[in-house]
């Protein structure tokens, strides 16, 4: 522990490395706690352009980690040698598309039909990341991924199919001690229900004893949905967004703010606007009832699902589109088929649904600007969330972050220059990122563990015992 104290006391700018950086959103929290990024790696040119803009002090390795690993290792080792430092932390957020529980139904269908491999090759990108980690030997390693990582199998370098967490553990043992923690970010003051698996390893040997008595490698929750010891209530979406001016997707003039950047929403066509306008709080437009003032019948069957013989839940096609009492068209999502006939739109029970006002927002996805996506309608207003509101819910607006100017290559290899990032890219960056508020809290906790903060460790132990 003396060695660790000397490390912290001697170097004020703690050296770090970011792998699978995306736009560097999660790294904002690490930087806010005093960490200095020597290098970053990102495959996609547009994401890498944002990371380069916001972390100009780092060496940026744009490209496939499998191809740039050796160059990255050599560059970071040279920089550390020049600084006479060890590497403090590696942040690794490997791709999660092959692990995510979202879309598992379609993945299962594709596997069964032979259109997709059972073992997603993208999950193997953790292997070159482990090679980099083994060579650079950071004091701390933070992996962030979806909860599905706990059950993910990959093919290792010897061709064996093994659990990814076992491969990580065996690659780092016995020098490192660590654990995987399922985390709900709403429990840390993030106004969004977003669950991830945070896997942390450290080569501070004394932590093994502290873990055994209840010390956690991640900070204990500060917020809770139900009342707990010294925990505040979850921050609801209505509380988080209460300062934003009202918008309405009925027209262009009402759909944007003149004074708040990114506070704008898409204008909906007339029929979609009516579906949204008639949707009650916390309900789906598929459940809307009769609006004929002469009828106003409220007993029409609501939307539901049924499990098929393949074990996958699918939305019912029998949900009524016309009022069972008066025959009027219900304000429910529909599609036009042959001869102008209408049928209920195919969609999940959570499509065209308002998010509950008294809870943190549901997980923000890249489809956040589409009302047909999962719980994407504003709690009380007739619209989806604005980008500015999404930045608030992801805690990004609490940190300095630039969205332009950008210079990157598109999929065809053409150079693109943008004064500001396109809305599509901003949505992707938000959806793929970890809230920087959590990484800042995590980083400050790691620093306290590194310096041997006894008070912090005792508080951790007492809270651990009370929460049992």
User: Where does the pLDDT of residue 162 fall: very low under 50, low under 70, confident under 90, or very high at 90 and above?
Assistant: confident
Sign of CA dihedral 175, 177, 181, 185: negative
125-129, 157-161, 183-187 — most confident range? 183-187
Question: In terms of Cα–Cα distance, which of 228, 212, 452 is closest to 220?
Answer: 228
pLDDT at residue 40 above 70?
yes
pLDDT score recorded for residue 150: 84
pLDDT value of position 452: 78
Is the pLDDT reported for residue 437 higher than 70?
yes
The separation between the first and the last C-alpha atoms of the chain, rounded to the nearest angstrom, is 29
Residue 465 above 60 pLDDT? Answer: no
CB 116 within 8 A of CB 166: no
pLDDT at residue number 134: 97
Give backbone dihedrals phi and psi of 160, rounded to 5 degrees, phi first: -85, 145
Burial (Cβ within 10 Å: 0-12, 13-18, ≥19) of residue 454: exposed
Measure the CA–CA gap between 64 and 69, rounded to whole angstroms.
8
Closest to 285 in 3D by CA, of 270, 299, 273: 273
Each residue's pLDDT tens digit, 65-81: 999 999 999 999 999 99
Please tell me the predicted confidence (pLDDT) of residue 259. Answer: 94
Distance between CA 221 and CA 153 in Å, rounded?
30
CA distance 433 to 399: 14
Question: Between the ranges 29-38, 103-112, 152-161, 296-305, where is the mean pLDDT highest?
Answer: 29-38
Of 14 and 96, the structure prediction assigns the larger pLDDT to 14
Separation in Å, CA 374 to CA 8, 206, 366: 45, 45, 11
Tell me what pLDDT residue 102 has: 39
CA 235 – CA 281 distance, rounded (Å): 18
Residue 242, class by beta-carbon neighbours within 10 Å (0-12 exposed, 13-18 middle, 19+ buried)?
exposed
pLDDT score for 464: 44
The CA dihedral of 460, 463, 464, 468, to the nearest 10 degrees, is 180
> Rg (Cα) of the chain, in Å, rounded?
25
User: Average pLDDT, stretch 278-300?
Assistant: 96
pLDDT of residue 290: 98
Whether residue 10 has pLDDT greater than 50: no
At what angle are helices 25-32 and 436-451 packed, to 10 degrees? 40
Q: Given this model, what pLDDT does residue 377 score?
A: 97
* SS3 track for the chain: CHHHHHHHHHCCCEEEEEECCCCCHHHHHHHHCCEEEEEEEECCHHHHHHHHHHCCCCEEEECCHHHHHHHHHHHHHHHHHHHCCCCCEEEECCCCCCCCCCCHHHHHHHHHCCCCCCCCHHHHHHHHHHHHHHHHCCCEEEEEECHHHHHCEEECCCCCEEEHHHHHHHHHCCCCEEEEEEEEHHHHCCCECCEEEEEEEECCCCHHHHHHCCCCCCCCCCEECCCCCCCEECCCHHHHCCCCCCCCCCCCCCCECCCCCCCECCCCCHHHHHHHHCCCCCCEHHHCCCCCCCCCCCCCCCCCEEECCCCCEEECCCCCCECCCCCCECCCCEEECHHHCEEECCCCCCECEECCCCCCECCCCCCCCCCCCECCECCCCCCECCHHHHHHHCCHHHCCCCCCCEEEECCCCCEEEECCCCHHHHHHHHHHCCCHHHHHHHHHHHHHHHHCCHHHHHHHHHHHHHHC
pLDDT over 80 (residue 321): yes
Alpha-carbon gap, residue 394 to 439, rounded angstroms: 12
Question: What local confidence, expressed as pLDDT, does residue 98 receive?
Answer: 56
The band of 101, judged by pLDDT with boundaries at 50, 70 and 90, is: very low
| Domains in the chain with CATH codes | 2-235+433-467 (3.40.50.150)
Residues 380-430 have pLDDT tens digits of 999 999 999 999 999 999 999 999 999 999 888 899 999 999 999 999 999
Are 225 and 186 in contact, with CB atoms under 8 Å apart?
A: yes
> How far apart are the C-alpha atoms of 190 and 434, rounded to whole Å?
11
Size of the chain, expressed as the number of residues it contains: 468
Q: Residue 111: its pLDDT value, please?
A: 47
More confident residue, 120 or 397: 397
Q: Rounded mean pLDDT of 29-43?
A: 97
Q: b/e string for 457-467 if b means 16 or more Cβ within 10 A?
A: beebeebeeee
What pLDDT score was predicted for residue 453?
65
Please give the order of strands across the beta sheet that includes 59-62.
59-62, 35-42, 14-19, 89-92, 140-145, 195-202, 177-184
Q: Are strands 195-202 and 14-19 parallel, antiparallel or unpaired?
A: unpaired
Predicted pLDDT of residue 11: 42
What global pTM score does this model have? 0.88
Mean pLDDT of the chain: 88
Compute the distance between CA of residue 104 and CA of residue 233 in angstroms, rounded to an integer.
32
Q: How confident is the model over 329-367, as pLDDT tens digits?
A: 999 999 998 888 999 988 778 899 999 999 999 999 999
pLDDT one-digit tens code per residue, 200-225: 999 998 888 888 777 899 999 999 99
Rounded CA separation 21/15 (Å): 16
């Amino acid at each position: 522990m003396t060695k660790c104290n000397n490390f912290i006391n001697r170097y004020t700018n703690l050296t770090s490395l970011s792998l699978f950086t995306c736009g560097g959103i999660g790294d904002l929290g690490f930087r806010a706690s005093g960490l200095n990024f020597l290098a970053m790696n990102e495959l996609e040119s547009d994401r890498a352009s944002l990371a380069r803009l916001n972390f100009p002090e780092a060496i940026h390795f744009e490209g496939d980690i499998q191809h740039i690993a050796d160059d990255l290792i050599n560059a970071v080792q040279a920089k550390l040698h020049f600084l006479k430092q060890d590497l403090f932390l590696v942040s690794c957020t490997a791709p999660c598309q092959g692990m995510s529980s979202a879309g598992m139904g379609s993945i299962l269908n594709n596997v069964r039909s032979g259109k997709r491999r059972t073992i997603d090759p993208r999950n193997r990108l953790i292997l070159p990341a482990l090679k980099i980690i083994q060579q650079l030997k950071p004091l701390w390693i933070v992996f962030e991924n979806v909860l599905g990582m706990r059950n993910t199998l990959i093919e290792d370098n010897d061709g064996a199919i093994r659990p990814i967490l076992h491969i990580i553990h065996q690659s780092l043992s016995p020098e490192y001690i660590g654990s995987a923690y399922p985390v709900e970010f709403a429990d840390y003051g993030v106004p969004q229900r977003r669950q991830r698996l945070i896997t942390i390893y450290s080569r501070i040997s004394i932590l093994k004893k502290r873990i055994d008595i209840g010390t956690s490698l991640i900070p204990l929750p500060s917020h809770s949905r139900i009342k707990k010891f010294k925990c505040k209530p979850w921050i609801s979406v209505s509380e988080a967004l209460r300062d934003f001016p009202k918008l309405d997707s009925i027209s262009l003039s009402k759909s944007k703010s003149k004074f708040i950047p990114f506070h704008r929403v898409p204008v909906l066509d007339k029929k979609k606007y009516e579906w949204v306008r008639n949707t009650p709080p916390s309900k789906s437009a598929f459940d809307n009832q009769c609006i004929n003032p002469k009828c106003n019948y409220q007993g029409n069957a609501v939307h539901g699902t049924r499990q098929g013989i393949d074990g996958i839940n699918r939305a019912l096609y029998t949900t009524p589109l016309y009022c069972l009492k008066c025959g009027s068209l219900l304000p429910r999502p529909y599609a036009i088929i042959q001869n102008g006939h209408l049928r209920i739109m195919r969609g999940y029970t959570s499509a065209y649904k308002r998010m509950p006002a008294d809870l943190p927002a549901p997980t923000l996805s890249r489809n956040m600007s589409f009302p047909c996506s999962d719980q994407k309608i504003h709690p009380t207003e007739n619209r989806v969330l604005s980008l500015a509101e999404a930045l608030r819910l992801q805690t990004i607006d609490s940190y300095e972050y630039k969205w332009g100017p950008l210079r990157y290559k598109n999929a065809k290899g053409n150079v693109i220059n943008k004064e500001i990032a396109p809305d599509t890219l901003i949505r992707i960056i938000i959806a793929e990122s970890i809230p920087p508020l959590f990484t800042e809290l995590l980083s400050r906790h790691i620093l306290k563990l590194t310096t041997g903060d006894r008070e912090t460790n005792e508080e951790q132990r007492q809270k651990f015992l009370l929460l049992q």
